[in-house]
Structure 1
Amino acid sequence: MERADASGDVTTGSPAPSGAPVAEGVRLLDGMPRQRGPADAVSVPPVPMVPPVSPAETAVPDEAVTGKRVLRPWRLLPTPTGTPFTFTFVAVLLVTALVAEYADPALVHALHQGSSTDVAHLLRTPVFVLVTSALWVVGGVASPYAVVLLLVLTALERRIGGLRTAGVFALGHVLATLATEVPVGLAVLVGWLPGSSLHRLDYGVSFGVAASVGALAGLLRPWLGWPVLLVFGGMLVGDLIAYTDPMTNWGHVMALAIGVATWPWARRWRRV
């Protein structure tokens, strides 16, 4: 609190800082900073020398600068390190396709028959035929399903990983197979179909491919994913209307629906 002294001057009541000489007639006011002397100098640590950075290290990718994705056509194909599951699976399918093309027809028929997921085999060796039936491509490597498998599995594995891609493929292959073969067995049991239907030849990768297409459509941008889904689904519905192989055609439609049903998990896997 300020007060007046005997001479009428106003003082603050604060004593002069110790050790600081006060000139006669000069009064100290609170809040006035005093001059720093050499002893009050603040030591500044030396600045470390930073080695020069080459332009290559500071270069920013074109994608980060422009905001546009750089097209890399080679990423459409599988590689041993980038997509190991697809690369290995396609290599196995290539081997079996060569066997089916150049081996003795009787041997090829026996291999197909032993790998068939018909009702009789599903009752005896379900795991064996569910695995081996997916190692053959109907029509060889030049068939449409082989091309779709190559592109779709590669794109799907680059987004959700190899194990999850194998899981989607296996889910569609197994569930669609059971959904088509179990009704055949029940129809034979009640007498609606002859006993020969229990040995119906059934093998190939088409159910797994359809499920993979359905799953991939949910991971693409809407302007691309929905047309892919509609075009592929329209082809399957057209085959079903043609009624050339209704059980297999129904299996394709159900496998596509199974792939679409995996969208919540596939999108979560992609974020992870």
Structure 2
Amino acid sequence: MRTGWIELAAIPAALLVVYLLRTNGWASDHARRAWAWLKEWARLAPFTTVLWLLVAVHAWMLIGLSPRLRDAVLLTHSTTLAHLKHEPLTVLFGSAIWTDVDELLFMTFTAVIYLAPLERWLGTWRTVLAFLAGHIGATVLIALWIEETVLITPEQDRVYARTIDVGISYGAYCCAALLAYRLRWPFRLSVWALLLAYLLYQASLTDFDAAVDYTSLGHLVAFAIGLLLYPLTRTDRARRHRLDPWIKIPAATSAFSGAGDSADNETTSLAR
């Protein structure tokens, strides 16, 4: 294992930033405002915040590792058929929080655009349920389909055993489909149509006969699961919060006074 220069520079860089913020009044004031905003955002979306931090920490742990060792770590948490048979709970939950560093941008986009607005609308526990339904449901259904209907040759089986299939995209696409229920009909159908067109285009690029790559099909299954979770949007909380701001912190809490209701309580890489 080798230590990368990023880890070596991170601590002194962080200390330098703290020193500059403390010695500069203008910067300190803006830093306090940004920190207060982040705390309020995290208070309104605790599950999204914890998930982002878990993914970020696990991605950070991979920095500095050699490509071979990084792939070995990710493969340990990948949802291959062998792992699902022998240690299903470990890989079903672990695969959602392990990903490569280059996926952090997708995770951040998902947190801001999909997960946090859904959590502020439906509540924390319903958002957790929706995310797990998409992530676990799509993973299991695709694995069962592969095992029951796809003829896997010994060569393909060896490729699949070395396939890295980790990430949050199954849960993210499920939550995106569910969040569209918050929109009025014309806009709702437009969002579904655009998302479905993108997922179908993504699937069309996959040569299923040449590679054991079923992630794009998993995205379509997760999208369908999100549509089936419509009953989660018919609760009293969902009706009360239907008109809340989509991304912006509500005006009532923008002063960060703490008032308001709390939220309910050679490896093939297929990083999702």
TM superposition score normalised by structure 1? 0.64
- Structure-1 separation of matches of 2:153 and 2:145: 12
Structure 1 residue 76, shift from structure 2 partner: 11
Tell me, yes or no, if the aligned pair for 1:216 and 1:225 is still in contact at 8 Å: no
Higher RCO, 1 vs 2 (CA within 8 Å, ≥6 residues apart): 2
Structure 1 residue 235, shift from structure 2 partner: 0.6
Partner of 1:160: 122
Alignment length, in residue pairs?
198
User: Could you say if the C-alpha distance between residues 241 and 80 of structure 1 is closer, same or farther in structure 2, counting changes exceeding 3 Å?
Assistant: same
Larger relative helix fraction = 2
Task: Give the one of 119, 133, 148 matched to 1:186.
Answer: 148
**1:3-82 equivalent positions in 2, closer than 5 A:** 79-82=41-44
Structure 1 residue 230, shift from structure 2 partner: 1.7
User: Could you say if the C-alpha distance between residues 267 and 140 of structure 1 is closer, same or farther in structure 2, counting changes exceeding 3 Å?
Assistant: same
Tell me, yes or no, if the aligned pair for 1:218 and 1:267 is still in contact at 8 Å: no
Q: Give yes or no for the alignment of 1:221 onto 2:188.
A: no
- Structure-1 separation of matches of 2:154 and 2:108: 35
- Structure-2 separation of matches of 1:75 and 1:156: 19
- Structure-2 separation of matches of 1:239 and 1:220: 25
Q: Give yes or no for the alignment of 1:175 onto 2:143.
A: no
Task: Give the one of 79, 86, 89 matched to 1:127.
Answer: 89
User: Could you say if the C-alpha distance between residues 81 and 198 of structure 1 is closer, same or farther in structure 2, counting changes exceeding 3 Å?
Assistant: same
Structure 1 residue 191, shift from structure 2 partner: 5.4
- Structure-2 separation of matches of 1:147 and 1:233: 18
Structure 1 residue 250, shift from structure 2 partner: 0.9
Task: Give the one of 206, 210, 216 matched to 2:173.
Answer: 210
Tell me, yes or no, if the aligned pair for 1:176 and 1:255 is still in contact at 8 Å: yes
- Structure-1 separation of matches of 2:179 and 2:37: 15
- Structure-2 separation of matches of 1:155 and 1:120: 36
- Structure 1 stretch displaced more, 133-142 or 174-183: 133-142
Which sections of structure 2, spanning at least 5 residues, go unmatched?
1-35, 241-272
Aligned Cα root-mean-square deviation (Å): 2.8
TM superposition score normalised by structure 2? 0.64
User: Could you say if the C-alpha distance between residues 120 and 99 of structure 1 is closer, same or farther in structure 2, counting changes exceeding 3 Å?
Assistant: same
Which sections of structure 1, spanning at least 5 residues, go unmatched?
1-73
Partner of 1:110: 72
Name the larger-Rg structure. Answer: 1
Identity of aligned residues (%): 27
User: Could you say if the C-alpha distance between residues 179 and 167 of structure 1 is closer, same or farther in structure 2, counting changes exceeding 3 Å?
Assistant: same
Deviations 1:117-163 (CA, angstroms, capped at 9, x unpaired): 100000100001000000034532124x5413432000100001111
Deviations 1:97-134 (CA, angstroms, capped at 9, x unpaired): 22334334333212211100100000100001000000
